[in-house]
């Protein structure tokens, strides 16, 4: 009896918590925070996700297929803008160092 109540109360607590990290645009809008967006290329999505996870940014990815090369938009909470700026600085620095390093296959 007590164990069942404990499990049910724990489940209610988990449902009350807003989702964090990558989520749908609908879930992000439900959190009643102003939403902003930036454009990102398809090749950088995975790398951005890992950086955003590190900084604890709540975001949603949306593909705009109306254009011939599809655009990808990252929506995030307005109050996360400063954190997102720091995350993008680290992300771009990481990408630049990867591009500067010569390929190991080319060296062999």
DSSP-derived pairing of the beta strands 59-64 and 71-77: antiparallel
* 11 falls within a domain: no
Phi, psi of 103 (to 5 degrees): -70, 135
Count up the domains in the chain and report the number: 1
* 69 falls within a domain: yes
* 76 falls within a domain: yes
In this prediction the pTM is 0.66
* 41 falls within a domain: yes
- Residue-range definition of the domain harbouring residue 68: 20-107
* 6 falls within a domain: no
* 71 falls within a domain: yes
> Please, are residues 63 and 40 in contact by the beta-carbon 8 Å criterion?
no
CATH number at residue 33: 3.30.70
Question: To 10 degrees, what angle do helices 45-55 and 81-100 make?
Answer: 130
Q: What is the pLDDT along the chain (108 residues), one digit of tens a residue?
A: 788 888 888 777 666 666 677 888 888 888 877 888 888 888 888 888 888 888 888 888 888 888 888 889 888 887 777 888 888 888 888 888 877 887 777 777
């Amino acid at each position: 009896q007590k164990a069942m109540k404990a499990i049910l109360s724990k489940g209610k607590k988990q449902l009350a918590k807003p989702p964090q990290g990558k989520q749908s645009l609908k879930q992000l809008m439900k959190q009643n925070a102003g939403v902003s967006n930036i454009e990102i290329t398809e090749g950088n999505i995975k790398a951005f996700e890992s950086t955003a996870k590190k900084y604890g940014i709540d975001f949603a990815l949306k593909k705009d297929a109306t254009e011939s090369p599809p655009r990808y938009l990252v929506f995030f909470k307005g109050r996360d803008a400063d954190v997102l700026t720091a995350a993008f600085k680290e992300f771009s620095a990481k990408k630049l160092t990867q591009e500067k390093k010569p390929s190991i296959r080319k060296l062999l």
